[in-house]
């Protein structure tokens, strides 16, 4: 399996007129962009003027299938932050590429990540300049405690309480850390949900974003 181009993605929805919003979907390790196409289609039904793309992670996965942003082979609490930091510039460059392609800025961008994709989306909030107006992190975590919050990016954490891959405590920690930084953060917990996405997650995501994507705001650092 050869590595894809840096910015490979499936464009799930592209409006006939210039888009008013950019929604980027980021899959988990060992997965592929096709896996999040149904989620993108559901979001497109809500926001038909948005450009929605499911992004492919840049490297072949060590799991023998799918793709990854960083290796999870031998990953620990100690070495995870360095692995994420090493690949984060590529993630930011990917977001900025799609913003340039659509003529939209961070104020009109929403990042939706699942698992490893959520890790990357959350870590991108630690950049000096905000990358997005909204970050939706499904079954994710911070690689290390966040040190700052832009005060503008709204972060929506979504997690199953039966997740054995990313225990719920990781989302509770993220919420606590972000609240201490005065970040705009919400947390939705889904009873009985493991490491996955179900209709309840989609409904919660739409509820959190409803109306807000129709009125993008200016972002400051």
The token pair at 197 is 């996405």
**d(Cα 50, Cα 40) in Å, to the nearest integer?**
10
61 is catalytic: no
Which one of the listed residues 35, 59, 173, 195 is annotated catalytic?
Answer: 195
Which one of the listed residues 57, 115, 124, 150 is annotated catalytic?
Answer: 115
The token pair at 37 is 């196409």
**d(Cα 221, Cα 125) in Å, to the nearest integer?**
10
CA angle 118, 20, 174 (to 5 degrees): 20
Which one of the listed residues 105, 133, 163, 188 is annotated catalytic?
Answer: 163
163 is catalytic: yes
Q: What is the CA radius of gyration of the chain?
A: 16
Task: Identify the three-state secondary structure at position 155.
Answer: strand
Give the bridge partners for 141, in sequence order: none
115 is catalytic: yes
Active-site positions read 115, 163, 195
């Amino acid at each position: 399996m050869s590595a894809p181009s840096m910015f490979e993605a499936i464009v799930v929805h592209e409006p006939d007129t210039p888009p008013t919003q950019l929604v980027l979907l980021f899959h988990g390790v060992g997965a592929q962009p096709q896996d999040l196409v149904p989620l993108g289609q559901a979001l497109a039904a809500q926001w038909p003027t948005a450009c929605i793309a499911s992004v492919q992670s840049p490297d072949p996965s060590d799991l023998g299938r799918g793709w990854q942003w960083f290796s999870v082979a031998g990953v620990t609490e100690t070495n995870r932050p360095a692995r994420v930091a090493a690949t984060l510039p590529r993630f930011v460059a990917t977001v900025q590429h799609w913003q340039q392609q659509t003529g939209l800025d961070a104020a009109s961008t929403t990042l939706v990540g699942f698992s490893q994709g959520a890790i990357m989306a959350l870590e991108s909030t630690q950049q000096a300049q905000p990358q997005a107006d909204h970050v939706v992190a499904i079954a994710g975590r911070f690689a290390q405690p966040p040190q700052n919050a832009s005060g503008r990016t709204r972060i929506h954490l979504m997690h199953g309480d039966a997740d054995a891959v990313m225990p719920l405590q990781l989302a509770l920690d993220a919420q606590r850390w972000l609240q201490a930084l005065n970040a705009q953060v919400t947390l939705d917990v889904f009873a009985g949900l493991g490491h996955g996405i179900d209709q309840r997650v989609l409904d919660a995501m739409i509820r959190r974003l409803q109306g807000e994507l129709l009125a993008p705001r200016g972002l400051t650092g």
